[in-house]
Structure 1
């Protein structure tokens, strides 16, 4: 009997979320030296230098304060600095972000934007702020503002962390001043968005998506029998229907998606079809991110992976999020082993 993700219901202690704020395992060994800039894209070499400079400055801020006399009050922490790596998909922004993380002294934290908002939801704002305020750096991957509540919470959190001496570096494919555009009444929250923009120095990183550079087209969906056979012959694989998995994701808090796929060697999904609505689509985006972080191959039957998000969805305010998820799912589909003979 093949295991199903739909049968798993992970339970996570709230305080364990802080300990999980580290780069995905695929970025365990990355460094600035291992980032190879595209010679045709000068912004990439400039981004590496900006990231190195950020580490030097942020480390000095965290280690500053000077000597204090016996009765002298402790000096207020220096303001943290911010770096914002903006660019398209697959240009190495996460590689640079993880390199910054590895180069900074601890304690430090690395998380996706969604994981940061999930952390605040799980711990409460005050507890999350206190736990993160002792860190040298907070690295946030795929920074995005999806609703007004996120805008207010993240703006306040990062502003207060920065005031306490925590430096912040983020990656995104939307410039800070444009966060939230097309997703909600951003003009109503312009002050908060501008406050976020003021925290960061923005650096552009251009180039083609390395996930599809010099690679063959993504594989066609498997036949139903082949998918079943692959799942049965692959230790640690799971097999769910698209609708079963979508329904299960709706019952889980997104903070549990990472634990949902822990220990899974391959995810097989049958009867894939376009997402019926935005809620389903956004949960699939969150799952795709966790699968990509864990480097878990994906094999499917039914519709193609680039057809999950409808043209109407891709044309809307979450366009970049859906394109990122599609890019990642296509990359994971290439990682699947050859079909069973």
Structure 2
């Protein structure tokens, strides 16, 4: 297949891939493509700030710009799109079709969590230079706007109070500068940050999203991601080169990429490094997750940010690796509670993984959960964030 996007927008490319057999016909996806095609028409050649990038970086860019009025968007700014639906309905694929074909010179496609990490980093740099009393939001919005007139966010979700605190003002500033936003999410705008402390202060942001983004619910009948994972072996014994190759193939099948990129999860004032992450799939080796002093908060961050975990090299567990065994038990319990799909290589099947020592009796429940997590019924469950 020729991966270059066809001219004429996402609808042309979508139909071409249907004809090639790369995509299967899906009425809900077809309706969504029609909406994306309309957005493609409205954003052709769009650029509210066509000037050349300014020299001097993030801080100099702010000092040279004129103040921007507080209105939500300049006249003529195309309305964006918020594509919501359950996991595996093809939201990311559809947004990528739009992004590939979008005739916008300055555009950026990014996972929302990575976007927020970058925002926090820039805010920290601004405050370090200008002090805690300086307002970092206008220069941050200027910097983002200078980089992209079209922002496409994958997996828009808000779990962190630190993110919730800045989102309203940041997005209002972006919209005021003419930025067009397209986002995919498993959560409807009205349910973002639901049940979390401080949500009342977050409600104006939800209202802003509803005014500036058309909300489209994708109700596809099939869960394509679950179809793919159900066809994959999930537990490979022993943890040898053959198993590594099988997990490599599974990673590529689930993400469309051979290797993921490093990612940093921020929690409780510190960070957790994820060696490989793509589209809600994370990959670790056993030592990096259970050989270090990580705890429930770390495993919860993984379980809520990723629907699938690929874990390499689970050893036999015994009294000599007591701490590793306890961490692994905690990890599995957390993955189980959040219905995270686990693909792993190990030195034994779950029932034979920990047969002696103090933790062996406790591990019986873990082995039972690991066996259940390989079942077709489990693989069909929805991820809980």
TM-score normalised to the size of structure 1?
A: 0.60
Aligned length: 255
- Confirm or deny that 1:44 pairs with 2:63: no
- Confirm or deny that 1:128 pairs with 2:140: yes
Could you say if the C-alpha distance between residues 227 and 30 of structure 1 is closer, same or farther in structure 2, counting changes exceeding 3 Å? farther
- Confirm or deny that 1:90 pairs with 2:88: yes
Say whether the 8 Å CA contact 1:97–1:171 is kept in structure 2.
Answer: yes
Report the Cα distance in structure 2 between the residues aligned to 1:193 and 1:308, rounded to whole angstroms.
33
Report the Cα distance in structure 1 between the residues aligned to 2:160 and 2:175, rounded to whole angstroms.
22
- Confirm or deny that 1:309 pairs with 2:308: no
- Confirm or deny that 1:57 pairs with 2:42: yes
Q: Which runs of 5+ in 1 are unaligned?
A: 1-27, 66-75, 237-247, 315-322, 335-341
Could you say if the C-alpha distance between residues 61 and 309 of structure 1 is closer, same or farther in structure 2, counting changes exceeding 3 Å? same
CA RMSD of aligned residues (A): 4.2
Q: 2:110 — aligned with what?
A: 111
Report the Cα distance in structure 2 between the residues aligned to 1:173 and 1:30, rounded to whole angstroms.
26
SS at match of 2:202: helix
Report the Cα distance in structure 2 between the residues aligned to 1:214 and 1:98, rounded to whole angstroms.
19
Q: Which has the higher contact order (CA 8 A, sep 6+)?
A: 1
**Equivalent of 1:166 in 159, 163, 179:** 179
- Confirm or deny that 1:222 pairs with 2:236: yes
Report the Cα distance in structure 2 between the residues aligned to 1:185 and 1:220, rounded to whole angstroms.
39
Q: 1:100 — aligned with what?
A: 98
Report the Cα distance in structure 1 between the residues aligned to 2:207 and 2:229, rounded to whole angstroms.
40
Q: 1:269 — aligned with what?
A: 286
Q: Deviations over 1:117-145 (max 9, x none)?
A: 11111112444322221322000111111
**Equivalent of 1:210 in 224, 231, 237:** 224
Could you say if the C-alpha distance between residues 100 and 44 of structure 1 is closer, same or farther in structure 2, counting changes exceeding 3 Å? same
SS at match of 1:131: helix
Report the Cα distance in structure 1 between the residues aligned to 2:153 and 2:108, rounded to whole angstroms.
8
- Confirm or deny that 1:201 pairs with 2:214: yes
Q: 2:261 — aligned with what?
A: none
Q: Which runs of 5+ in 2 are unaligned?
A: 51-73, 124-136, 249-264, 278-282, 316-327, 346-385
**Equivalent of 2:170 in 157, 161, 165:** 157
SS at match of 2:181: strand
- Larger Cα Rg: Structure 1 or Structure 2? 2
Q: Deviations over 1:51-84 (max 9, x none)?
A: 111121123543799xxxxxxxxxx674342101
Could you say if the C-alpha distance between residues 50 and 219 of structure 1 is closer, same or farther in structure 2, counting changes exceeding 3 Å? same
Q: Deviations over 1:22-43 (max 9, x none)?
A: xxxxxx757732465765x532
- Confirm or deny that 1:144 pairs with 2:157: yes
